[in-house]
Amino acid sequence: MKIVTYNVNGIRAALKKDLIAWIKNENADIVCIQETKSQQEQVPAEIFEELGYQAYWHSAEKKGYSGVLTLSKVSADKVVEGMGMSKYDSEGRVLSTTFGDWTLVNLYLPSSSSGEERHKFKMEFLADFGKWTKKMLKKHKNLIIVGDYNIVRLDIDIHNPTRKDKPPGFRPEERAWIQDFFSKDFRDAYRVIHPDQSDEYSWWSYRAGARKNNKGWRIDYIAVSTSLESKIKKVRHGHEAVHSDHAAIIMEIDL
């Protein structure tokens, strides 16, 4: 099973940059997209159907904002939008699809770059999302959570770990949460395969040639429940995908 996760920073803009050709070439079984910034009716269904994908959407109520989309060549047995918490679900951040004995969660975790109020919201989301995943694991032992977590985990996951200003996504309280997340019920799939790889990032600022100079952050993750850790075969960043300020992540796993 090949699973892709990719924050496209606006799917309509990415489609104009030939996203479909990249998806076709990658030929993954499932493609999880974050930050669609679109409603389902704004994107023709046939562009995905022609590639053999069924499209499962969870858009934000606010147009042009947030949203996740899961494209799958396998029909989901069950699809659930959100976590059952309206203040988060209204922003289109979590979409669960179950396939037989395993469940996939497409996640777009809040950013807090706009100020302290959103940082507070982000920390509330993390606390509630952590509780929600505990409940999910009781129902779904084999759980994969992919997406844009908007948090740097390790020092080797950022090009300048000694910076003192602690910007959003690199704050101690956020990093403590994600370290705890990946040390208990879940494993960071990329680090399972590449435990010490540095200079490998998934997001770059648009400023000052950051991507060209590889001054990036690793903030996009594929989390697998411990029951699936041994089944991971390959994980890589799809640096050839340049439809947004993020890179895609591609995992092959024996399911």
Would you name the residues annotated as active-site residues?
148
Cα separation of 50 and 52, whole Å?
5
Quick check: helix, strand or coil at residue 163?
coil
Q: Measuring CA to CA, how many Å separate 36 from each of 15, 112, 132?
A: 11, 18, 23
- Residue 47: closest CA among 77, 23, 28: 23
Say how many residues make up the chain.
255
Contacts of 19 (CB under 8 A, 6+ apart): 8, 11, 243
Locus of tokens 């997001």 = 203
Determine contact, residues 117/77, Cβ cutoff 8 Å: no
Cα separation of 94 and 22, whole Å?
24
Cα separation of 245 and 248, whole Å?
10
The enclosing H or E element of 244 equals none
Quick check: helix, strand or coil at residue 206?
coil
Cα separation of 140 and 144, whole Å?
10
Burial 122-138 (b: 16+ CB within 10 A, else e): bbebbeebeebbeebbe
